[in-house]
Amino acid sequence: MNFKEMDSYLLSKKGATFDYPFDKTVRVYRIADKIFALTADEKPLSINLKCDPIYAMELRSLYESIKGGYHMNKKHWNTVTLGGDVDDALLKELIDHSYELVYDKLTKKQKELLGR
């Protein structure tokens, strides 16, 4: 998956937006102002995704290209380097997982505003 495909998939999530709160190279994806993904304009392309702590550890043991979240709480975040041993289907699954973890923590009002 390239950046354009990944970006398109991230923004296809209900209520997903992005901004550049840190600098012009770090793109942050949010739902209701809560972060569910970050990516940097660097090579190799990578993405930070929120993850259930137990699942995060399992993924890191199974995939060389999944590490503890770079500049993030490594208990709850993974960094996935694209082009490695994580295929597009798994990457989409991990994006979905991250989105759902954040969505589940939103208030009832925030969820209603998203219309989901």
Determine, yes or no, domain membership for 113. no
Quote the pLDDT of residue 107.
94
- On the question of pLDDT at 101 being above 80, the answer is yes
Determine, yes or no, domain membership for 70. yes
Give the tens place of pLDDT for each residue, 44-62.
Answer: 899 999 999 999 999 999 9
CB contact at 8 A, 71 and 23: no
Quote the pLDDT of residue 115.
82
Determine, yes or no, domain membership for 112. no
Quote the pLDDT of residue 41.
80
Q: pTM of the prediction?
A: 0.94
Expressed as residue numbers, the domain containing 67 is 3-107
The CATH number of residue 33's host domain is: 3.90.1150.30
Determine, yes or no, domain membership for 116. no
- On the question of pLDDT at 81 being above 90, the answer is yes
Determine, yes or no, domain membership for 82. yes
Determine, yes or no, domain membership for 115. no
Q: How many domains are contained in the chain? A: 1
- On the question of pLDDT at 73 being above 90, the answer is no
Determine, yes or no, domain membership for 98. yes
Find the mean pLDDT for residues 64-87. Answer: 93
State the virtual CA torsion across 93, 99, 100, 105 in degrees, nearest 10.
160
Position 116 confidence tier, pLDDT thresholds 50, 70, 90: low
Determine, yes or no, domain membership for 32. yes
